[in-house]
Chains A and B, each alone.
Chain A
Amino acid sequence: MNNIIEIKKLSKSFPGTLANDNISFNIKNNSVHAILGENGAGKSTLVKILYGILEPDNGTILLNNKNFAVKSPSESRNLGIGMVFQHFSLFDSLTVAENLVLGLDENISFSKLKEQVESISLKYELPLDYDAPITNLSAGEKQRVEIVRILLQNPKVLIMDEPTSVLTPQEVDKLFVTLRKLINDDKTILYITHKLEEVKKICDEVTIMRNGKIIETCNAKNEDVKSLASKMLGKKLPEIEKSKINSDNKKTVFEVNNLDLKYNDPFLVDLNNISFKVREGEIFGIAGIAGNGQSEIMNILTGEEIIKKKSAIKCFGTDIGNLGPKKRREMSIAFVPEDRLGHSAIPQLSLLDNVLLSQFKGNQFSKFGVINKNEIKEKTIEIIKNFNVVTTGYNSFAGSLSGGNLQKFVIGREILSNPKILIISHPTWGIDAGAELFIRQSLINLAKKGTAIIVISQDIDELLEITDRISVIYKGNLSDPLDTKNISLEKLGLLMGGKF
């Protein structure tokens, strides 16, 4: 087997980071080649360079032994490279057909396109609704559109960036069927992931990246999950300490009753009759594929969106549906929304200024509307110290912190307010394994002290690791809760696909 792609001494830097540091490795023709690394290892930068979205600072790439220096994705596509993005690069307000047309360089009639699409759909088991607007599609359907759009170009190499992060376990299996068919069709797949099992399951060779460097390229068959993990992380992480209190008989502190909300907006998901209860010291998880109503629920739980029926949300028996975030914080409810850059923190402001963003009853951050800077400074230093936030100081911009450190800072800010209830969305999204472990452990420790925690996450492993009970959200409906101890992955996958 010869090499289809050879990467030689490739480097790319961004302000403050060397994302790709002198990278060299080869990809064999007609294979599934994994690039494995944790968040921030430089995988995305590498594939964006391969696809022509970014230009490298140094280094060369050979495609079929020919120099390959592309300046744009269309050049790259003409040379036979296609890419399926993690955050899809689709046009939400346009239809599937229009999106497919936009993926083609030549002009083609809609009827001829439809023929081609149908034959591809059939061949690789990728059914599509041709005339639907993208907004109406589920994440899995959107991914199919992306894959078909690329296959229309008949590429030799397909780059797939974290393709399973938005799929149910069942959908993952279907995707793997498609991938095997593609390999039978003489294609090469570059598979970007941080999930070890997938490397074992589908990949032939694996290149491991850490901190922008290549650690090793090896045969996936000769590795096991443990050896891959140690190579990916470079060190052994401690096991999470789970010893939780039994919250079964504790009293309910937070409940949502028959929450029903119709937005009449194609970009939002209507919520149907959602109910759940959370007990003192319990961690309650809401699982589900992104875009099934999680952000809508989160907005309502934080009070950023106020609802008319105030009894739909109760905290310590009080109706709070009509209260804004400030009032809810006064009841010792803390929140951490998903987006750290511009929602739970403001990247353009200093850490000091970011502390002031969530003010609780107890703190003395201001008097008669005048800011008390010393008080805030002390709090900032406390957060940085207690939550191992790596930073140059309390005056550095929030945006200059790495994802993991900023998330630790944000969560630290909320935890140090000693909340009785913490509502958190995607707590470890896009951060390195060390910070991930630290945050999960902090949440467990907080629950031990009696805080009720609601975790919304699409990371099943995370929910299985830290929660006591899990409900699944699908198209705005919430399933009955299941005990995490007795849950099977298959059952969870079915729920995530709407089979309640």
Chain B
Amino acid sequence: MKSYLPKIISRGHPSTIMSYWAPVIAIFLTLLTGSIIFSFMGFNPLFALHTFFISPISTSYGISELFLKATPLALIGVGLAFCFKNNIYNIGAEGQLTMGAIFGGGIGILFSSLDVNGFWVLPIVILFGAIGGAFWALIPAILKIKFNTNEILTSLMLVYIAALILDYLVVGPWRDPQGYSFPKTRPFNESSRMPLLFEGLRIHFGLILTIISILVSWFIFSKTILGYQLKVSGLSPKASKFAGFSQNSLVVLTFIICGSFAGIAGVGEVTGPIGLIYRDISPNYGFTAIIVAFLGRLHPIGIIFSSLIIALTYLGAEDAQLFMQVPQAVGFVFQGLVLFYLLGADLLINYKITFNKKEIYEF
């Protein structure tokens, strides 16, 4: 019996090395696919890839922009890691981000319009952002534990609802009277805004918050009983019950952590680079962070790298639109592709591929 078709064989236990290699393979394959697509569109693939991935970060401003985009992505990504590790598919981070912007931004606007200033204003704004996101995340969490409702669908529906609430606020009650009827609020006062880290660059205090959150999350995941509980209940709910861990508290806790991270990311966007609230505060950061979390292997340090890589696709897409007249949405296509390849490459963690009886490629 000889077959020339590749065969998939179980490894018996997961390979740690492959779980690190899979994202690298995925990125490589995405670049390869990208160059093929670009050649079909009539571009020199090297030129296109250079425009997309090199030129956006060839200046210090470009690098600052990279970190600016990576800031919310990494923060939400690490929040999602809490949920995903626990096998909770919260895919409504975009809505939690929006609610964070509404709550935190709303307080910021209140302070600004009352002309209240002080060093304590920003912490309150950030806190309210976290509360807003956590509140919005708590809804699917409670529906899940009380009514057994699928969190994927409810958290997603809440994204649409949050966007409509935001729309209502900026069109209606919160609209800036001096805004020439544009649907936007008045700008924040200086004391509600995220301080800039460097003169002339847009990266702001949110980056520091993100780094702190990542380090704390890393500690929780690797050194604490809570991290262990998340791992166990993600791998086997039955074993988690056996151990006596409270499934419901874990669901609520992970949703709250993820929601507040997303909320902080939201408030960071409006009080950071944007400076006011309007309709389009996020270019899908909440959804893209799902890819960031998976590409970073749900590991805080991995998420730092993956957030930078995915942030680059945003910048690259902007440049591609400018210099190659390619629609900006090509960035999302790349993001989708990288996730596809990653999920495919993950096969190699648990299985190996053999091409015939004699040759077994040990990955």
Docked pose: A303 CA to B244 CA in angstroms = 8
Q: Mark A76-92, 1 if CB is under 8 A from B, else 0.
A: 00000000000000000
Stretch at the interface among A179-187, A234-242, A352-360, A482-490: A352-360
The reply to whether the CB of A122 lies closer than 8 angstroms to some CB of chain B is no
Q: Mark A381-404, 1 if CB is under 8 A from B, else 0.
A: 000000000000000010110000
B12–A14 contact, CB under 8 A? Answer: yes
Stretch at the interface among B32-40, B63-71, B227-235, B294-302: B227-235
The reply to whether the CB of A275 lies closer than 8 angstroms to some CB of chain B is no
Docked pose: A397 CA to B223 CA in angstroms = 19
Docked pose: A326 CA to B245 CA in angstroms = 8
B228–A400 contact, CB under 8 A? Answer: no
B223–A370 contact, CB under 8 A? Answer: yes
The reply to whether the CB of A345 lies closer than 8 angstroms to some CB of chain B is yes
Which residue on chain A has the smallest CB distance to residue B236? A342
**Interchain CB contact (< 8 A) of B243 among A69, A348, A358:** A358
**Interchain CB contact (< 8 A) of B223 among A345, A349, A359, A371:** A371
Q: Which of A356, A358, A369 has the most CB of B within 10 A?
A: A369
Q: Which of A15, A335, A397 has the most CB of B within 10 A?
A: A15
Of residues 299 through 349 on chain A, the ones whose CB sits less than 8 Å from some CB of chain B are 302-304, 324-327, 329, 335, 337, 339, 342-349
Docked pose: A348 CA to B13 CA in angstroms = 7
Q: Given A343-B242, A346-B232, A356-B228 in contact, is the A400-B13 Cβ separation under 8 Å? A: yes
Q: Which of A345, A357, A397 has the most CB of B within 10 A?
A: A357
A343–B10 contact, CB under 8 A? Answer: no
Cβ–Cβ < 8 Å partners of B246 in chain A? 324
What 3 A-B pairs come out closest when comparing CB atoms?
A15-B12, A326-B244, A325-B244
Docked pose: A346 CA to B246 CA in angstroms = 17
Binding site for B on A (CB under 8 A): 14-16, 55, 57, 69, 302-304, 324-327, 329, 335, 337, 339, 342-349, 353, 356-359, 366, 369-371, 397, 399-400
Which residue on chain B has the smallest CB distance to residue A57? B357
Cβ–Cβ < 8 Å partners of B212 in chain A? none
10 A-B pairs besides A343-B238, A349-B231, A366-B225 with CB distance below 8 A are A15-B13, A57-B357, A337-B242, A346-B232, A346-B235, A348-B13, A349-B232, A369-B225, A370-B223, A371-B228
Q: Which of A329, A337, A343, A358 has the most CB of B within 10 A?
A: A343
The reply to whether the CB of B1 lies closer than 8 angstroms to some CB of chain A is yes
A304–B242 contact, CB under 8 A? Answer: yes
Can you list 30 A-B pairs with a CB-CB distance of less than 8 A? A14-B12, A15-B9, A55-B1, A324-B244, A325-B241, A325-B243, A326-B244, A335-B242, A342-B235, A342-B236, A342-B238, A342-B239, A343-B236, A343-B238, A343-B239, A344-B242, A346-B239, A348-B14, A349-B231, A353-B231, A357-B239, A357-B242, A358-B242, A359-B243, A366-B224, A369-B225, A369-B226, A370-B224, A371-B224, A397-B13
The reply to whether the CB of B50 lies closer than 8 angstroms to some CB of chain A is no
Docked pose: A303 CA to B9 CA in angstroms = 39
B239–A344 contact, CB under 8 A? Answer: yes
Cβ–Cβ < 8 Å partners of B231 in chain A? 349, 353
Docked pose: A349 CA to B241 CA in angstroms = 16
CB distance from A250 to the nearest CB of B (A): 29
A69–B228 contact, CB under 8 A? Answer: no
B242–A325 contact, CB under 8 A? Answer: yes
Docked pose: A343 CA to B244 CA in angstroms = 12
CB distance from A167 to the nearest CB of B (A): 28
CB distance from A320 to the nearest CB of B (A): 13
Docked pose: A14 CA to B238 CA in angstroms = 27
Docked pose: A400 CA to B1 CA in angstroms = 29
Total B residues in contact with A, Cβ cutoff 8 Å: 24
Which residue on chain B has the smallest CB distance to residue A343? B238
Cβ–Cβ < 8 Å partners of A348 in chain B? 13-14, 235
Q: Which of B11, B226, B228, B357 has the most CB of A within 10 A?
A: B228
Docked pose: A348 CA to B87 CA in angstroms = 15
Docked pose: A57 CA to B9 CA in angstroms = 12
**Interchain CB contact (< 8 A) of B228 among A16, A335, A353:** A353
Which residue on chain A has the smallest CB distance to residue B11? A15
Cβ–Cβ < 8 Å partners of B241 in chain A? 304, 325
Docked pose: A344 CA to B240 CA in angstroms = 9
Which residue on chain B has the smallest CB distance to residue A303? B244
Docked pose: A326 CA to B246 CA in angstroms = 10
Docked pose: A134 CA to B246 CA in angstroms = 34
Q: Mark B1-16, 1 if CB is under 8 A from A, else 0.
A: 1000000011111100
Cβ–Cβ < 8 Å partners of A400 in chain B? 12-13
Cβ–Cβ < 8 Å partners of A356 in chain B? 228
Docked pose: A69 CA to B1 CA in angstroms = 9
Of residues 237 through 265 on chain B, the ones whose CB sits less than 8 Å from some CB of chain A are 238-239, 241-244, 246
A346–B236 contact, CB under 8 A? Answer: yes
Docked pose: A404 CA to B231 CA in angstroms = 25
Which residue on chain A has the smallest CB distance to residue B220? A369
Q: Given A325-B244, A371-B223, A371-B228 in contact, is the A345-B12 Cβ separation under 8 Å? A: no
CB distance from A305 to the nearest CB of B (A): 9
Cβ–Cβ < 8 Å partners of B1 in chain A? 55, 69
Q: Given A353-B228, A369-B226, A371-B228 in contact, is the A399-B244 Cβ separation under 8 Å? A: no
CB distance from B84 to the nearest CB of A (A): 15
Cβ–Cβ < 8 Å partners of A397 in chain B? 13-14
Docked pose: A57 CA to B360 CA in angstroms = 13
Cβ–Cβ < 8 Å partners of A346 in chain B? 232, 235-236, 239
Cβ–Cβ < 8 Å partners of A339 in chain B? 238
Cβ–Cβ < 8 Å partners of A302 in chain B? 242
Cβ–Cβ < 8 Å partners of B228 in chain A? 353, 356, 371
CB distance from B86 to the nearest CB of A (A): 14
Cβ–Cβ < 8 Å partners of B238 in chain A? 339, 342-343
CB distance from B6 to the nearest CB of A (A): 15
B12–A16 contact, CB under 8 A? Answer: yes
Cβ–Cβ < 8 Å partners of A327 in chain B? 244
Cβ–Cβ < 8 Å partners of A343 in chain B? 236, 238-239, 242
Cβ–Cβ < 8 Å partners of B12 in chain A? 14-16, 399-400
Docked pose: A369 CA to B228 CA in angstroms = 10
Of residues 209 through 228 on chain B, the ones whose CB sits less than 8 Å from some CB of chain A are 223-226, 228
Cβ–Cβ < 8 Å partners of A16 in chain B? 12
Cβ–Cβ < 8 Å partners of B10 in chain A? 14-15
A357–B243 contact, CB under 8 A? Answer: yes
Q: Mark B74-114, 1 if CB is under 8 A from A, else 0.
A: 00000000000000000000000000000000000000000
